[in-house]
Amino acid sequence: MKIGQLRFVDGNWEQISETPGFQPEKAHLVLTFGERKLLESTIPYSYLHALYPNAQIVINSTSGEIISDKVQDNSLVVTAIEFEKSTVRTVQVDIFDHKESYQAGEAIAHALDDANLAAIILISDGGVVNGSDLIEGTNRSLNRLVPVIGGLAGDADRFERTLVGVNQDPAAGKVVGIGLYGADLKVGHGSMGGWDVFGPEREVTKSSYNELYQIDDRIALDLYKDYLGKYADGLPGTALLFPLSIRVTPDSKPLVRTILSIDETAKSMTFAGDIPEGARVRFMRANMDRLVEASATAAQKSLQQLGKTPELALLISCVGRKLVLGQRTEEEVEVARDIFGNQPIMTGFYSYGEIAPAGPATPGELHNQTMTITILSEQ
């Protein structure tokens, strides 16, 4: 695996790093993470296609860009990868409504499924997509268990629109699947939250897809505002600081769900993934040190699975973590670098939802407010 990285910041492109022997014209996959308004003004695809003429070029908007052990805003971060023993295929699906999410996942799985499929990276619109339906549709339509990782595009903390595209300038309402193929490609992954739960566990008594109406037969939005106190005036933005922990079944592992929007008229809350009736939920709040420690744990888990030194590390974290950590945000990237050492190239972005298996030999799931880390090696 040979990798080169570029960055666009303050109106200029600059080379950041290259592994020995990297040649841009031989790159197979290009991952471009950038601030939404900058993507709209820069329109980078033509430039990247001229530089990497034979690559599948994936571009998406973010809530912050990761390069090496740094976190940036208002930049474009480009990571071009030449695989030595593996191949790449991509597919793009249009989506206009969150109820189409399951079908979008099915279409991506059918297009990418193959006996040599080693992993799927999903990069999805973060506004109109129901992430849990998207992933379930993907998982159920594959002929065997394959790691599905990735994230939902971001738009800083504006929540206006997100952009995604492959082999074109990105646009709203797109979902991209990246298939990685080959027996020599090794994949490790880890995901961890680090939030504290508080208050009793409660039952979801009225919901529809990813819209929550009642908890314990109380209006969910009113109950949530009671818990938020003074922070309720800042909804929906402040909801990033107080996510929900959810157990779909009594024996399932807790997942974290972030609120995307609220409807004062309908008294509903819309989440990044499904909130089914009968699920058990608890309120959560931030613990700064535990958030950073969670990133270290995710890195350790991914390294244990890979069993060797990675060549590429893809870090996808949640915009909510970034807002909570503030000036300490880079710490969760730095601890991953400390665990991996200097060898792997690191990239990634802050998202509206993270996609990764919860553990070894498990299907991909939608996470919110987590740091998910995927590491790759052909060594």
Give the model's confidence band at 175: pLDDT under 50 very low, under 70 low, under 90 confident, else very high: very high
* Res 272 pLDDT > 80: no
Sorted by sequence, the CB contacts under 8 Å of residue 100 that are 6+ apart come out as none
Name the band, by pLDDT with cuts 50, 70 and 90, for residue 239.
confident
Q: What average pLDDT score do residues 235-256 get?
A: 84
Highest mean pLDDT among 44-58, 237-251, 364-378 belongs to: 44-58
Q: Which residues pair with 358 in a beta bridge?
A: none
Q: What is the pTM of this model?
A: 0.88
Residue 238 has pLDDT above 90, yes or no: no
What pLDDT, on the 0 to 100 scale, is given for residue 163? 98
Question: Across the chain, what does the average pLDDT equal?
Answer: 93
Question: Can you tell me which residue has the tokens 């592992």?
Answer: 253
Q: Compute the average pLDDT of residues 275-280.
A: 94
Residue 30 is predicted with a pLDDT of: 98
In the chain, alpha helices (H): 36-42, 45-51, 101-112, 131-141, 220-228, 288-306, 319-325, 329-340
| 80 or 283, higher pLDDT | 80
Measured between alpha carbons, how far is 220 from 206 in angstroms, rounded to an integer? 9
